[in-house]
Structure 1
Amino acid sequence: MDPAHKLAPPPDRRQSETALLIARGTARLLHALGFSCVSELPLPSGRRADLVGLNGRGEIWIVEIKSSLEDLRADNKWPDYRAHCDRLFFAFTQDLPCEIFPGDTGLIVADGYGAHLHCEAPEHRLAAPTRKLMTLRFAMAAAQRLQRLHDPQGIVEF
């Protein structure tokens, strides 16, 4: 087995193929903007964020991925994510019109190869205790996922 294959986590079967491609392109954009990303990060509220980015300045962005109009219409939990990030974005394919998304969020248009920031998200800075909690959750999730690659049966993700 090639060594690079060992670094890839097993596929997560909760998302559609379109959502996975949007996530990959969006993660590439966030990386280019100086962010490290963790997908499917459990939040203190009990929700699970699709993609969370953390940069060297400690800024935390949450990106909610929408693969279709039905996906957006069925989702009423995204406003809860604001309490856990400095900026909130929606990422979607170019097939969806920007006008269907809330005006007080940022917009990212993505595909499996990359993405572009269509509309910047307004900033709402986290309080220091929340920032610390989110940074620790991000670090713990990333470290546990790396450990699981080395010992798949030895660790359970929080």
Structure 2
Amino acid sequence: MNDEVSSPADLLPAQPGHRLARGVARMLLGMGHAPLLEFVPAPGLRVDVISVTPSGEIWIVECKSCRADFTGDRKWQGYLEWCDRFFWATDCDFPVELLPEDNGLLVADPYGAELAQMAPVAKLAAARRARVLRDIARVAACRLVRVNDPGAFTQG
């Protein structure tokens, strides 16, 4: 019997889309980005990965693990107004011909990702950029506090 305890770095997320998001986040960190997983830019929208580049661009990456995952998604076009660049992330077996050609593409697995196609830039308006950056900072800070002090949010 193996008594070794796995480290958090060894644990893989159960869902395929979450595995892709993990690989995407690793790639983005390697590029100097600040990625945040499962971010809500507006009510009714939840992006898989949002990232702030070293130059301040905001990228959104939507992870798709299979054909049904893509064809069942009706919200992704609403994400475009919340970023400077929009990317799809898929595994190497995904039928990429299904994806719109005018978006970026990352090919990912749980351990990393590669940039297959750069997304065109569509610069956010200054007020929208300020709001998104503020919201990213607030969500990230609260998540960090929860990791370091899980009871902090239960105090009345």
Give the alignment's TM-score, normalised by structure 1.
0.86
Structure 2 CA distance, aligned partners of 1:85 and 1:65?
A: 16
The unaligned stretches of length 5 or more in structure 2 are none
> Match for 1:49 among 28, 47, 50?
47
Structure 2 CA distance, aligned partners of 1:86 and 1:70?
A: 27
Q: What percent identity do the matched residue pairs reach? A: 40
| Partner SS for 1:154 | helix
CA deviation map 1:97-137 (0-9, x unaligned)? 22110111101000011110111111100000010001011
The unaligned stretches of length 5 or more in structure 1 are none
Structure 2 CA distance, aligned partners of 1:97 and 1:32?
A: 27
Question: Is the 8 Å Cα contact of residues 67 and 95 (structure 2) preserved in structure 1?
Answer: no
Structure 1 CA distance, aligned partners of 2:144 and 2:106?
A: 28
Deviation at 1:145, TM superposition (A): 0.3
Say if 2:113 is the partner of 1:110.
Answer: no
Larger radius of gyration: 2
Structure 1 CA distance, aligned partners of 2:54 and 2:106?
A: 21
> Match for 2:77 among 56, 79, 82?
79
Deviation at 1:63, TM superposition (A): 0.3
Structure 2 CA distance, aligned partners of 1:75 and 1:144?
A: 28
Deviation at 1:153, TM superposition (A): 2.8
Paired positions, count = 147
Partner of 1:96: 94
**Comparing 27-36 and 77-86, the one that deviates more:** 27-36
Question: Is the 8 Å Cα contact of residues 37 and 52 (structure 1) preserved in structure 2?
Answer: yes
Look up the equivalent residue of 2:32 and give its one-letter code.
G
Partner of 1:64: 62
Structure 1 CA distance, aligned partners of 2:43 and 2:87?
A: 18
Say if 2:34 is the partner of 1:40.
Answer: no
Question: Is the 8 Å Cα contact of residues 50 and 65 (structure 1) preserved in structure 2?
Answer: yes
Structure 2 CA distance, aligned partners of 1:16 and 1:118?
A: 25
Deviation at 1:93, TM superposition (A): 0.4
Question: Is the 8 Å Cα contact of residues 144 and 155 (structure 1) preserved in structure 2?
Answer: no
Partner of 1:19: 17
CA deviation map 1:1-38 (0-9, x unaligned)? x9x76xx8xx9xxx852112211111111112221111
